[in-house]
Structure 1
Amino acid sequence: MKFFNHMLFLLLLALSLTGCNRSGAESHRVISEIKILPGADQLDEYLPYLKNKKIGMVVNQTSLIGQRPSVDSLLAHHVDIAIIFGPEHGFRGNASNGAKVSDEVDSQTGIPIISLYGKKRQPSKEDLAQLDLVVFDIQDVGCRFYTIINTLSYVMDACAKNDKELLILDRPNPNGYVDGPVLDMALKSGIGKFPIPITHGMTIGEFAQMINGEGWLPDKKQCRIKVIPVKNYAHDMIYQLPVLPSPNLNTQQSVLLYPSLCLFEGTYVSQGRGTYMPFTVLGSPELKGIYEFSFTPESIPGMSETPLHQNTTCYGLDLRNFDVQKLHASGKIDLKWLREMYLAYPAKEKFFDFSLSRQMGNFDKLAGSRDLKKQIIAGVPEEEIRNSWEPALSDYKTRRKKYVLYR
């Protein structure tokens, strides 16, 4: 009997670890237990390639090898790092959203830091002249309006113009699905630079290949790239970020809600900037008496100095306990909150008024389409809204297949 019970236990254990016949959130839970190994952690794959080269590194606080900043780790391996290039939020990740970042010298290593979010957006000819290779290692979150893919393209352009190779240490995309309207290039801006949907379903390494393949660099230049792929990764996996990517994406919950809630940046509804729970709550003073949950945005240095509705109580939705794994498994951005908040909003003429919201961009630029705002106002059913994204969305998915490195 003991032998039978033991064999039954082993059989049940094996079945519990088999994810191929499961679906939805359960399969996402199973595959998320696989050890994912980012490119940076695979030192044996690229350390010999860095030997005897002067290196420039495009990095921020998400650039880790194990638990240690990649700059520190590579210096310990005697890699000659000549320059650090810092993106939005700075090398240490402590600058506020949209804040200009100045050049400086890193106090811990003595290495010059050239800001790519201040006076310039890409390395200059003079910056690159002393380098043999540029290394790009930054965690992206997989959204068109998250500026890291813009930084990638600017760095690729500079490398292409100056005949420098770009080594990409790839990292998983926490929002690895494809959804949303494809950007109307008439709305091209700093929060929408490429003809891609809201969630593009690509890692940085894959996206770099797409930039080259689609001829998106100026004059269709080609950048020499080498990608160190992530091991044990697939796009439908839930990936727990070891370091949060920016001051206002400060929880895993906010990272997974970001594709759906960032659209509110083009409205008069706060997404929680000015609190320690950004992109997990929604609210406005106009919604008092309609919702019970409330929060009050305040000035928080390094996060949001002048948030929308500063020092005014906002009423709305608390999404901190929303099942984001289920959202991820659906492979869709969530439109119900946008529809719900617009219907509940009493002063509808103010809802999409960017001049009032003072946020990062107007709604059409965030959506990538002039239609979505009109559809929300007109009460168009969600299925009809989604149908309007075709055939551009399906065409994008077809083009994307040429560049993916992971299933």
Structure 2
Amino acid sequence: MQIDLYGGFGEKGRTSVGISTSDTRILLDVGIKVGAMGRDYYPAIDVAAIASLDAVFVSHAHEDHIGGLSWLLSCGFHGLIFMTHETRGEADGMLAQYADPSHVRDYPIDRCRVKLFTPGETLRVGPLKILTGRSGHVVGGVWFHVDDGEHQAVYCADVTPGSSVFVMDPVPRCDLIVLDTSYAADSISGLQRRTEIENWIAAHPSGCLLPVPASGKPLEIMAILTGKFAIHQAMRQPISTQILAENAFAPSTQELLRQRLERAVDWSDGDPFPDCPLLTVDGMGSAGPSVEAIRRAAAQGLPILLTGHIPDHTPARRCYDEARATWIRLPTHPTRDENVAIWNAASSPYALGHSCPHSGLRDLQHFLPKLDVTAVTGDHLEI
């Protein structure tokens, strides 16, 4: 089994892993890298090789995992596209924000080539058997376990073992695991971070702006917001759809979120900022309503709380660098101890880490002795 590292190794963004046997080639995720330009915006797969791919498997509909799908189609990809029902429902909206508009227009997703599945299903392409499981990261998000009959590899994609909202399924044993190392060796628990965010919001009772991604984190934030809050009006229907998903949520969480969405105040572009927390899409201010909302909030001195990744060359990063925004990470990826637990459960295999610089991987290696801290995008290996 050959493993090709096409994006996300030694860097954050354009997450993409290739797996191939003598006669079958698949791609796990095809993300983009926010803040990058030109060819570096997309996975580092040889364009000439794209036509020979048999299938692409999309773990979830965040831009760093699906944003390059229209580009892949424009480069001659003619294989199958595997994704969950929820990911398919969010794919077009995400591509509209992050893909080249000409690619979206000229290379739409062909529904005849899309194979929808439910987390937990076993999929097959040629000799490859692909197990799936809930990631705990977003509704419809999954990890993949690929078995060629001799060797097994796990690609975690983005997982959240400590989510207070979603459920993550245990990862099976394997020979190689690609861990979500977005937080490197950060050991601060989700509970502690949620308490910090709750306290920060309580300290700003006159209102604040919370930019968030379109899926996953809005529900994590809503679980924290016990008082009045507002959402951009365009978020209501997508969030409502996410809450309806079956088998994605921790016990009693689904009804709690439904009740909180019901009492959320709608807010539209151009409206005065409300006297309560306001959620807008997206978390980096690179697309969607957050572009204008962050600009206005910074100009008016409205407190801004960033809770996720803030890449260089984004409005969120500029606000943070200028001390116009506060950053408190709300864990939607594994902490140090959670990654150690995932690795141990998978039988302590050889490990790679995606979405993390090498300095962070070296810190994490003290706790994961089989973690490769040298792999970079463009590398290839065999198991």
TM-score where L is the length of structure 2: 0.32
Q: Which of these two proteins has the greater Rg computed from alpha carbons?
A: 1
| Higher strand proportion (structure 1 or 2) | 2
| Higher helix proportion (structure 1 or 2) | 1
Q: Which structure's relative contact order is higher, taking Cα pairs within 8 Å and 6+ residues apart?
A: 2
